[in-house]
Amino acid sequence: MNSLRVKLDALIAQTDLDVSERQREQLVGYVELLNKWNKAYNLTSVRDTSDMLVKHIMDSIVVSPLLVGERFIDVGTGPGLPGIPLAIMNPTKSFVLLDSLGKRIRFIKQVLHELNITNVTPVQSRVEEFDGGEDGFDGVLSRAFASITDMVEWCHHLPRAKTGVFLALKGQLPQDEIEQLPEWCSVIDIKALKVPELEGERHLVILSRKG
């Protein structure tokens, strides 16, 4: 068993997450591909694969138990975060991964091919130009957006009517951003996330349309 797998197993053991053998192999495979492509494509500032397990994999999959619904979109996904780890964890749910940079989408397509992930649709587009279809999404995920305010303004057309939510992964709780939210949007829940071996706070801010 390789050292990355040993490390991943040790991290998962510090959580209540239920992760199958196949899912663990896919998560390690994703980190290996990210590391390989990162040398040429500069997909993440995290260079160490062990750090990737903590800062990218665990930081993403701790959100998995909080996903309610079937259809999700990860906006500004970058190299597929948190979308790919969450898709691996939730093979019966569907994920659209949206990014405006071609090299990131090419990388994601390669990951899907090599790891045989079938519940992800990569899309190269700016979020404000992307039409989410008539139904909309149960959850609009974002990990890298500059602010929650920008996220809800640019993604306002994506959640499913009445039931869809915005899921913003943040570090420290951004009280100033929450105070600047537009009138039509409100915070319905804030979850403090525990990420093994990650320094600093992590929060999931869940928002929805009012009314």
Q: Residue 143 annotated as binding?
A: yes
> Could you tell me if 208 and 140 are in contact, meaning their C-beta atoms sit under 8 angstroms apart?
no
> Could you tell me if 56 and 85 are in contact, meaning their C-beta atoms sit under 8 angstroms apart?
yes
Tracing tokens 């915005």 back to the chain, one arrives at: 166
β-strand 203-209 against 185-192: which pairing, if any?
A: antiparallel
> Could you tell me if 161 and 138 are in contact, meaning their C-beta atoms sit under 8 angstroms apart?
no
**For the chain, what's the residue count?**
211
String of DSSP letters for 68-135: -SSEEEEET-TTTTTHHHHHHH-TTSEEEEEES-HHHHHHHHHHHHHHT--SEEEEES-GGG---TTT
CA 88 to CA 172: how far, in whole Å?
Answer: 26
Q: Residue 76 annotated as binding?
A: yes
Q: Residue 132 annotated as binding?
A: no
Q: Residue 128 annotated as binding?
A: yes
Q: Residue 81 annotated as binding?
A: yes
- Specify binding-site residues: 76, 81, 127-128, 143
- Specify binding-site residues for S-adenosyl-L-methionine: 76, 81, 127-128, 143
